[in-house]
A and B are shown apart, each in its own frame.
Chain A
């Protein structure tokens, strides 16, 4: 029987830090599908996924080469976290960008929709969005995923169920618990999320 040799991520990271480019190739090869599909499950666009995947590993490479990576046997979760943060950055940038439709008609209201917000209100609005995002970050991964897809990506529960490979009842249940948990945290800490 053929012996299967398994080199741990920690060993590959160490080999890479010692100058082995082949170790990096193995690390990417080992985790590429999982990371790529994780990104795609959030953005649903192959080109954007490709960009975020590339940026994720650029960040990984730079951090490793700078000696800033603390090995705790958690290479994949660390890389997934980087990818996750880049996905959030992508949505954050897109939400703030003025959107133009492709009809050829210029719609001034698509650019000026927040015109009535003064600097203070904008700051409050940003703060609330930021607070809510922090609260969402505290949710269990499966609940957070469903909530982001439903609220930020406006996906139907049917789509969410398909994307997360669970039944629609499970997706609905996760959303319900996500909202219950958010409400609990907000009440427990007396957090005020009022716009003005």
Chain B
């Protein structure tokens, strides 16, 4: 059945990718800046820059 679709079987490995350093840094900064304030019936998010 393989022959129906192409002549040579695929043996190309997919390159392993990583996120940008900026993205990781953004997430770490976001985490540091985010705090949750618990109210009586709700919780509030507070983002300190």
**Interface 0/1 of A41-84, CB less than 8 Å to B:** 10000100110011001100110011100000000000000000
Known contacts: A53-B23, A58-B30, A65-B36. The answer to whether A158 contacts B5 by CB under 8 A is yes
A135 within 8 A of B: no
Whether A157 pairs with B5 at a CB distance below 8 angstroms is yes
Which residues of chain A are near B26, meaning CB under 8 Å?
Answer: 54
Known contacts: A62-B45, A167-B2. The answer to whether A36 contacts B17 by CB under 8 A is yes
Whether B31 pairs with A165 at a CB distance below 8 angstroms is no
Segment with Cβ contacts to B, from A4-12, A25-33, A118-126, A187-195: A25-33
Whether A24 pairs with B23 at a CB distance below 8 angstroms is no
Within the complex, which residue of A61, A169, A172 is in contact with B27, where a contact is CB–CB below 8 Å? Answer: A61
Within the complex, which residue of B9, B19, B35 is in contact with A167, where a contact is CB–CB below 8 Å? Answer: B9
What is the CB-to-nearest-CB distance from B3 to chain A, in angstroms, rounded to a whole number?
A: 9
| Interface of chain B, main secondary structure | mixed
What is the CB-to-nearest-CB distance from B8 to chain A, in angstroms, rounded to a whole number?
A: 10
Which residues of chain B are near A57, meaning CB under 8 Å?
Answer: 27
Which residues of chain A are near B45, meaning CB under 8 Å?
Answer: 62
Give A33 to B19 CA distance when docked, in angstroms: 7
Whether A61 pairs with B31 at a CB distance below 8 angstroms is yes
Within 8 A of A (CB), among B22-45: 23-24, 26-28, 30-32, 34-36, 43, 45
Which residues of chain A are near B28, meaning CB under 8 Å?
Answer: 21, 24-25, 28
Whether A169 pairs with B20 at a CB distance below 8 angstroms is no
Which residues of chain A are near B23, meaning CB under 8 Å?
Answer: 50, 53-54
Closest residue of A by beta carbon distance from B32: A21
Closest residue of A by beta carbon distance from B36: A65
B48 within 8 A of A: no
**Interface 0/1 of A152-190, CB less than 8 Å to B:** 000011100111010111001000000000000000000
What is the CB-to-nearest-CB distance from B32 to chain A, in angstroms, rounded to a whole number?
A: 6
Known contacts: A158-B10, A168-B10, A169-B2. The answer to whether A32 contacts B18 by CB under 8 A is yes
8 contacts between A and B (CB under 8 A): A21-B31, A28-B28, A32-B24, A37-B17, A50-B23, A65-B36, A162-B14, A165-B14
B residues near A (Cβ < 8 Å) are: 1-2, 5-6, 9-10, 12-14, 16-20, 23-24, 26-28, 30-32, 34-36, 43, 45
